[in-house]
Structure 1
């Protein structure tokens, strides 16, 4: 075990370990101070109000429309709410829509200015792997996104990669009363880290099976959710915000010609703007949520 650790220590970062402490004696082990560090997404100290925005997928015109309707000031190329509200993006900023680079620049600027928070979606994660030189299939609009970034140059590519890499898998907000994760998150994963948590947050409740269209089969985790926190997510598009128990899905298929939607919190009301065009054909009609409430 010691030999294996020595062999692999230089690769710990690639395995997901952000920090390491080397100890060379029993005395060092006995006197090492221990300090608990919160996960990056643990922002229980932030109480809002928030505007949680669904999957943008490169739809920059619609994002600007929605931010204006939510009351954000878009002058100067950025976006900030005059009353101090914070935008929270559920991920999948890129692909399918016409201007993924424009969306990235706007959201990155808002996060840097303290006007927004963001979690990654599976499309963002795939883009990050492509920018890192990993072998990925450039499909579902990723080819267009990569072309835009290629034209923008290596500095912008490095900034985008660093931005996505630093995003927390989930956000724990308002004392733990609000959870934001791209594909949703069951209660036993709230506030936790690890590979299983990250996989669920990015891809949902999947087991590798695919349907007749070749799409991943996603089990409806929200139907069995009974946690105390409100979970806001996206990933699976619907024709309107989908309320299910103490969860709400705000992915309303903007790139497919649907809407771009946001949940106002703590008001628990939704606001949507229509897509200006059908940027990508939907693989099937967007399902209409049943039993909506709270919107």
Structure 2
């Protein structure tokens, strides 16, 4: 399941299933109800019906809840405002605990689930958590691969050369990077024969929430 970004209504609809849910990160920010999305995700975890991969927005929220000094932005400020309501005291602590312990990637057979992009170290390293110091695999997992330049919309320019390093027979499911032009998850096969599937369709940002049913990972 792709980025949710606070779109609680879409998240409720998408999780009304008997299937186990793997959400690919960025639960919070932008949409109207990040607190509600966190509540629902925690319920999925508690009932053993789902997990989430750490996204860059989730990581930023976790570090803010730790009290770290970081650059604030309006979407993060709104999420923190929602969580500051006294009725969410327990949720705030639990959300931090789940974010702190969330895996940065998960591999199941020939399927790999990660928020931003693939790094070959993910084939040999065990899944890590993401609130600590940055490393090359962690940066790739959270942010994908960038050129170092900024786009006119203010976001970093991204490139997709990491797709060419996915081994043949492997499928990497990512969010983060909105590539689709037809309202469906976008697929691309690299030089080695591996495939990347981009599931971010803009939920919470004027688009919609995407998910894919996988029968045999």
TM-score bracket for the superposition, by shorter chain length: 0.7 to 0.9
Alignment of structure 1 residues 224-243 onto 2, 5 Å: 224-227=164-167, 228-239=169-180, 240-243=184-187
Task: Please tell me whether the aligned partners of residues 200 and 210 of structure 2 are also in contact (alpha carbons under 8 angstroms).
Answer: yes
Alignment of structure 1 residues 181-192 onto 2, 5 Å: 181-192=114-125
Q: TM-score, normalized by length of structure 1?
A: 0.63
Is the aligned partner of 1:67 residue 2:2? Answer: no
CA distance in 1, matches of 2:172, 2:47: 25
- CA displacement, residues 155-191 of structure 1 (integer Å, 9 cap, x when unaligned): 3221111110000110011xx3110000121344324
Task: Please tell me whether the aligned partners of residues 5 and 205 of structure 2 are also in contact (alpha carbons under 8 angstroms).
Answer: no
Task: Please tell me whether the aligned partners of residues 3 and 176 of structure 2 are also in contact (alpha carbons under 8 angstroms).
Answer: yes
CA distance in 2, matches of 1:143, 1:117: 25
Alignment of structure 1 residues 193-204 onto 2, 5 Å: 195-204=135-144
Unaligned segments of structure 1, at least 5 residues: 1-52, 73-80, 269-295
Per-residue deviation at 1:267? 6.7
**Higher deviation after alignment, 151-160 or 187-196:** 187-196
Q: Secondary structure at the match of 2:98?
A: helix
- CA displacement, residues 85-123 of structure 1 (integer Å, 9 cap, x when unaligned): 210000000000011011001111111211002111000
Per-residue deviation at 1:142? 0.9
Indicate how the Cα distance of structure 1 residues 65 and 58 shifts in structure 2: closer, same or farther if over 3 A, else same: same
Question: Where does residue 158 of structure 2 map in the other structure?
Answer: 218
Q: TM-score, normalized by length of structure 2?
A: 0.84
1:88 pairs, out of 6, 22, 30, with 22
Task: Please tell me whether the aligned partners of residues 208 and 217 of structure 1 are also in contact (alpha carbons under 8 angstroms).
Answer: yes
CA distance in 2, matches of 1:156, 1:88: 21
Query: Which protein has the larger Cα radius of gyration, Structure 1 or Structure 2?
Result: 1
Indicate how the Cα distance of structure 1 residues 226 and 133 shifts in structure 2: closer, same or farther if over 3 A, else same: closer
CA distance in 1, matches of 2:178, 2:158: 12
- CA displacement, residues 55-89 of structure 1 (integer Å, 9 cap, x when unaligned): 00000001112233xxx2xxxxxxxx1xxx21000
- CA displacement, residues 17-65 of structure 1 (integer Å, 9 cap, x when unaligned): xxxxxxxxxxxxxxxxxxxxxxxxxxxxxxxxxxxx1000000001112
Number of aligned residues: 200
CA distance in 1, matches of 2:79, 2:25: 15
Task: Please tell me whether the aligned partners of residues 60 and 99 of structure 1 are also in contact (alpha carbons under 8 angstroms).
Answer: yes
CA distance in 2, matches of 1:112, 1:191: 29
CA distance in 2, matches of 1:66, 1:140: 27
Task: Please tell me whether the aligned partners of residues 145 and 162 of structure 2 are also in contact (alpha carbons under 8 angstroms).
Answer: no
